[in-house]
Amino acid sequence: MYRFKRSINVKGDVAKCPSNPQAQRDSRTLVLLLVVVGEIPVPAGAVAMSCQFLSSSGTAIKLPRKKLMSMNVIGCSTSPIPNPVLRPELSIRVGTRLIPHPKKADKGGEDAFFVSGYSGGVMAVADGVSGWAEKDVDPAQFSRELMRRASSLVDDEEVNYDPRILVRKAHAATSSTGSATVIVSMLDNNGILKIANVGDCGLRVIRKGQIIFSTFPQEHYFDCPYQLSSETVSQTYLDATVTSIDIVKGDIIVMGSDGFFDNVFDHEIVSTIKEHKDVAETAKVLADLAYKHSVDFYFDSPFSIEARNRGLDVPWWKKALGQKLTGGKMDDITVIVGEVISKCFGKKKACLKWLRTMVEPNCKCGYEPESWGI
């Protein structure tokens, strides 16, 4: 069974806007997995994954094992921290933002994502298919468990930097009822970004102000994307579009759910990146822009343009009056912005702004403290 997404906000007779477009947003960063407590000033919303801290700004920071042992870390993986000598040359500094659909804000929406600092970096987004709500199934459960399973498998030997294998193993381990679209990207030790995509989540790579790579949606028909499901008849990892890209320092990676790409044009993404250098700020600005467009009846969004191209439009008599189908698409909005940087090759001490006693004073990473993004 393939389920389609029903949250549409357009002007005309095809679909109508939710009754309360001004409902208060919950733009908090979604904390999916674990809880961290301790005595150091960890930013609000931080979460431990694979013995790393993900701050609310999205920066993944590895802590030395001695420091980890002195903290109360709930659910942190016991996998050893890699020897610094084996760290890849490139890594990704990440900012994230999730704005739930106003009608779903009380439960955090149905999108899910995770970011890991494993190797060069791993980023993933899953979008729970809202059609399951008609069967009294919470669409968020499947997407969240899928991301939770995937985050626990990033360092699996069989995965070995292959995002399609990561999708396969995470899907097989997910027991919740439902379905979701998903995109996963992994930066390996050779500076290759590997991407696996099932459905209509998306990714762009921007280099020197130009988009050099874009994913394309996979769908059965308009607004019915490919999806991983708990049902036997569904797409699998074999249906994923898999791509490898040579990444260089300074590249910007923008990932998101369809709620983002349905409401923001590529040229808006590029112009926003030019105006904002901090990845956390960029993610926030992009997500807020997507939300603004999503509740605007008159905005000619990527979604409304595609709908018209597929034959969905206002009745002929409205066309005769010069009208057309317009409007954004109300949906959960997830945005991940990653900047490719050179990894710090200081000694075993961590370059952490708030752990001043542990900062390597002669670090040769080339980044001053104010540019660490911490």
Name residues whose C-beta falls within 8 Å of residue 157's C-beta, 6 or more positions apart in sequence.
none
Average of per-residue pLDDT values in the chain: 77
* Complete DSSP assignment for 261-290: HTT--HHHHHHHHHH---HHHHHHHHHHHH
**Helices 279-294 and 266-275: crossing angle, nearest 10°?**
140
- Between 358 and 104, the more confident residue is 104
Query: Given this model, what pLDDT does residue 86 score?
Result: 42
Q: How confident is the model over 332-354, as a mean pLDDT?
A: 70
- DSSP class of residue 83? P
- Cα distance between residue 15 and residue 5, in whole Å: 12
Q: What is the pLDDT of residues 39-56, one digit of tens each?
A: 223 333 333 333 333 333
Query: Given this model, what pLDDT does residue 89 score?
Result: 84
Question: Band of the pLDDT at 254, cuts 50, 70, 90?
Answer: very high
- Cα distance between residue 132 and residue 104, in whole Å: 14
pLDDT at 17 over 50: no
Q: How confident is the model over 264-287, as a mean pLDDT?
A: 97
pLDDT at 258 over 60: yes
- Among the residues of 223-372, which ranges form H helices? 258-261, 266-275, 279-294, 302-309, 316-320
CB 111 within 8 A of CB 128: yes
- Cα distance between residue 224 and residue 279, in whole Å: 31
Q: What is the pLDDT of residues 207-232, one digit of tens each?
A: 999 999 999 999 999 999 999 999 98
Scanning the structure block, which residue is given the tokens 């997500």? 287
- Between 298 and 358, the more confident residue is 298
Scanning the structure block, which residue is given the tokens 């990894």? 343
Question: Band of the pLDDT at 1, cuts 50, 70, 90?
Answer: low
- Cα distance between residue 349 and residue 353, in whole Å: 12
